[in-house]
Structure 1
Amino acid sequence: MSFRIGQGVDFHQLAEGRELWLGGVKIEHSKGAVGHSDADVLLHAICDAMLGAACLGDIGTHFPDTDSQYKNIDSKILLKQTVNLIGKEGYSLVNIDSTLCLEKPKIKSYVPQMQEAIATICGLTTRDVSIKATTTERMGFVGREEGLVAYASVLLQRI
Structure 2
Amino acid sequence: MKGINMKSVFRILLFAMAMITFCVSTYAQKDSRQRITREQLAETQAKYIVKEIEMDDATAEKFIATFCQFQKEIWALGPRPERIASDHTDTEAEQALKERFAHSQKILDLRKKYYVLYSRFLTQKQIECVYKLERGMMNRLYYRSQKGKTQK
TM-score (normalised: structure 1): 0.27
Tell me: higher relative CO, structure 1 or 2? Use CA pairs within 8 A at least 6 residues apart.
Answer: 1
Judging by fraction of residues, say which structure has more helix: 2
Give 1 or 2: higher strand fraction: 1
| TM-score normalised by length of structure 2 | 0.28
Structure of larger gyration radius: 2
